[in-house]
Amino acid sequence: MEELSFIIITTYGPHLGDENDIRHKLHQHYMDALKNINYSNFKVFLFGHLPSSAEGTINFVKADGNSKEQKLQFAKVYLLDAGLKSDYILRLDDDDILNPNAFNHVNKTKPDVYSDLFHSFINIDSGMIAQQQRPWFPNTAIIKWDLAFSILFLDNALLFNFQHTVWHRFLKDAKASIEYSNKFNPLYLRVLSAASITSIVTQSKSGFSQYLSQFGEFQEMEFQDFMNSIIKLNDEFKLNTTN
């Protein structure tokens, strides 16, 4: 079977320059997870302040702008101007973990969109996982390239920014085929830490525990495809798991 092609888009911040920063360490786990993807036909483009360079499938691209939104706008222009194209594209934050078998699955089923209906979160302080069924697509969804770029130009609703709230309306009109992942085998695992930008903003008004409460009840769960990544997180952050 011929392998379909995938492109991953990621932005990152200045934390990559600080080896003692929690987000720097989480980014290393992100990179390790990418290197362990059980698929060959994919490329990763990371947009941020570091000089442009390439190592295998992973490409750092020096990007204009300081905010995530500015870097994502730059990413869109970069991809189009460079004439880059793949069968599918997805966006992934630089401290989250992608399912290593997701591309193999999509290569077999070939949906227009592959996404999580149950959004999954791991708290690095405890090693516990929470899930919530949410009535929207997360920014991290695997989308066919042509479909994604038609979304890009719908009312200026860019795939690369936070305007994912329009996706349901557009995809319904486009009659796109949507496949949701198995609840216990999600597309990706969002990593929650007190160092994330979102949690820092939230904690200015409340505590980290209050921030965590918005993601549901945390409990022990086993996601087989993520076990290697969770074990590495455990070793790095001494998660309070009871394996």
Query: Could you tell me the pTM of the whole model?
Result: 0.87
pLDDT bracket for residue 243 (50, 70, 90): very low
**pLDDT digits over 90-135, tens only?**
999 888 899 999 999 999 999 999 999 999 999 988 889 999 998 8
Q: Which of 78, 33, 83, 76 is nearest to 58 (CA)?
A: 33
Token pair belonging to 7: 């492109």
Token pair belonging to 203: 């904690």
Could you give all domains of the chain from N- to C-terminal order, each with its CATH number?
6-237 (3.90.550)
Bridge partners (DSSP) listed for residue 240:
none
- pLDDT, residue 215, reads 92
- Average pLDDT score, the chain: 83
Per-residue pLDDT averaged across 218-239, rounded? Answer: 85
pLDDT at 61 over 50: yes
pLDDT bracket for residue 83 (50, 70, 90): very high
- Cβ pair 211, 202 in contact under 8 A: yes
DSSP 54-101: EETTEEEEE-S-SSHHHHHHHHHHHHHHTT---SEEEE--TTSEE-TT
Residues 106 and 91: their CA atoms lie apart, in Å, by: 15
**pLDDT digits over 190-221, tens only?**
998 876 655 555 555 567 788 888 899 999 99
